[in-house]
Amino acid sequence: MAIREGAWDCPHCGRTGNRGSAKFCGGCGAPRGEDVRFYLPDDAREVSDAAELRKAMAGPDWICPYCQGDNGAESSFCSGCGAPRDGAAVRPLVETRLAPPVVPAPQPVVSKGRAGGLLKKGCGIGCLGLLVLFGLIWFLGRPREATLTAQGFSWERSIQIEALQAVTEEAWEDAVPAGARVLSRRREVHHTNRVQTGTVRKSSTVTEQVQVGTERVKVGTRDLGNGYFEDIYEDRPVYEDRSHEESYDEPVYREDPVFAVKVRYEIDKWLPAREEKAAGQDRSPRWPEVQQAANERAGARKESYEIRFLDDKGKACVHRTPREAEWRRFEPGGAYRATVKPDGEVARFLDPEG
């Protein structure tokens, strides 16, 4: 465990690098003082002399409560004023831990020479081209503001007509719906049950880390409070990967089929038959007249409405909505502020009433 001599800087004259064991500044002669802090230079001297080692390990210096002078741990009286050590404060022992080593991230392999330079240049030009392309797409695709004048209105409504028709289906016997007319029955595999029939002996290679020893690692330094520093070491385990074969029994299974009755049947269902439509370019939407047969009924209804506009540059625009109430808010010849997509469809209206 190495002992090294530290250093301190004089707060009076600014001299740096005074020897850690020196009680007075080598420049101005001022006493070290309790406010001085020791530090360990990169080129700190390692102590090898036995007497100096004993001095370093004797303990931290103590601070005279009368003259604030630094005194060695082996002294019972202050070297400056002669006051006894009784009750004097000692310099603290301070540990400084080394930062854990930083594992460098793997660096990408860079091709050298003309080919690598051309590749890099080509990638740069390609990226710039993509940026320009995306910027152009965004610019051309962004909605624009315009004043729109309502020119025409249209509407379309439709009713789905359903017919009651016989359809053929299949289901397991316990899932046949009520009202079904059975056409045939047959036994089929419904599912399989997995049954273990035994085991088979197998082996695999297992790799694990095994501690094979320890290594002594420097983890920091300890300020001994007297101008000297002590290296701090820890014993850390050393591991290596070791592989071995492990045997185990793997289960063997068979799949046993389980049979059930599959039924083919006929049943009446309401199915889409046709669609009746009505459309117009007026302000009076109506539902289509429906002629239903005995086995028919009206199903889902759909409606859509459209307003055609001209913007302030004479370009045609359109707004579509499934809501009649919204459609009726617009008046022929009315002017409305809106944002319009490049394809002429209205994105949204900016007027409160639009």
Tell me 34's DSSP state. Answer: T
Tokens 């004043």 -> residue: 147
**Choice between 305 and 112, residue whose per-residue pLDDT is larger:** 305
Residues 281, 152 contacting (CB under 8 angstroms): yes
Q: Which has the closest alpha carbon to 97: 199, 297, 272, 231?
A: 231
For residue 104, is pLDDT > 80? Answer: no
What is the pTM (predicted TM-score) of this model?
Answer: 0.48
State mean pLDDT over 123-128: 66
The mean-pLDDT minimum among 81-85, 100-104, 108-112 falls in 108-112
Task: Report the share of the chain in percent with pLDDT over 90.
Answer: 73
Helix (H/G/I), strand (E/B), else coil: 192? strand
Please give the pLDDT value at position 124.
63
Residue 137 has pLDDT above 70, yes or no: no
Do the strands 346-349 and 144-172 form a parallel or antiparallel pair, or are they unpaired?
Answer: unpaired
pLDDT greater at residue 319 or residue 143: 319
Q: How confident is the model at residue 341 (pLDDT cuts 50, 70, 90)?
A: very high
DSSP per-residue string spanning 286-318: -PPP----TTEEEEEEEEEEEEEEE-TTS-EEE
pLDDT digits (tens, 9 = 90+) for 110-122: 445 455 555 556 6
Classified as helix, coil or strand, 203 is strand
Higher pLDDT, 77 or 118: 77
pLDDT of residue 267: 98
Residue with tokens 């320890």, as numbered in its chain: 214
Check residue 351 and give its pLDDT. Answer: 73
Instruction: Tell me if 64 sits within 8 A of 88, measured CB to CB.
Output: yes
- Residues 8-51 have pLDDT tens digits of 999 999 999 999 999 899 999 988 888 899 999 999 999 999 99
Supply the pLDDT for residue 141: 55
